[in-house]
Amino acid sequence: SLPLPPFAIVGVILLIYLVLGCFIDALALILLTIPIFYPVVVKTLGYDPIWFGVIVVMVVAMGVITPPVGMNVYIIKGVAPDVPLEDIFRGIWPFLLAIIFSLIILIAFPSIATFLPQLLHGV
């Protein structure tokens, strides 16, 4: 028996991805953590691996645009040096809200993430 319900364990894992995404590059974060979290989420808890992959990529994308580091924000600052950093951080909010809204929909209806792969695979 698990100490927490499966959705709470996945929620903690996603929170870890969000926090670490604020400090670590997305690819490095995914490569470092998937060997640890994938067996827990997919094999132990029974979630769909495609759904988990989509959710992880979205949460990490959310992490790389949020403060304190917000690595992608500094990349934008390098491309547009005349735009103040504060304006760039203010400009991420619509994108952050869109990602949060998308995550809520994908968590509520996981079949959205698996529809096309199931259609192509013929399941």
Per-residue pLDDT reduced to its tens digit, 15-74: 999 999 888 888 999 999 999 999 999 999 999 999 999 999 999 999 888 888 888 888
In angstroms and rounded to an integer, the radius of gyration of the C-alpha atoms of the chain is 16
Dist. CA 120–CA 104, nearest whole Å = 25
Buried b (16+ CB within 10 A) or exposed e, 1-15: eeeeeeeebbeebbe
The answer to whether the CB of 50 falls within 8 A of the CB of 117 is yes
| Mean confidence (pLDDT) of the chain | 90
Look at residue 1 and tell me whether its pLDDT is greater than 70. Answer: no
| Reported confidence tier of residue 92, pLDDT bands at 50, 70, 90 | very high
Look at residue 2 and tell me whether its pLDDT is greater than 90. Answer: no
Dist. CA 42–CA 40, nearest whole Å = 6
| Reported confidence tier of residue 5, pLDDT bands at 50, 70, 90 | confident
* pLDDT over 90 percentage in the chain: 57
| pLDDT attached to residue 84 | 94
Look at residue 123 and tell me whether its pLDDT is greater than 80. Answer: no
Q: What's the rounded mean pLDDT across residues 102-108?
A: 93
Residue whose token pair is 């979205």? 58
Question: Which pTM was predicted?
Answer: 0.86
Dist. CA 33–CA 27, nearest whole Å = 10
Interaxial angle between packed helices 49-63 and 93-108, expressed in degrees from 0 to 180 and rounded to the nearest 10: 160
Omega before residue 68 within 30° of 0, cis: yes
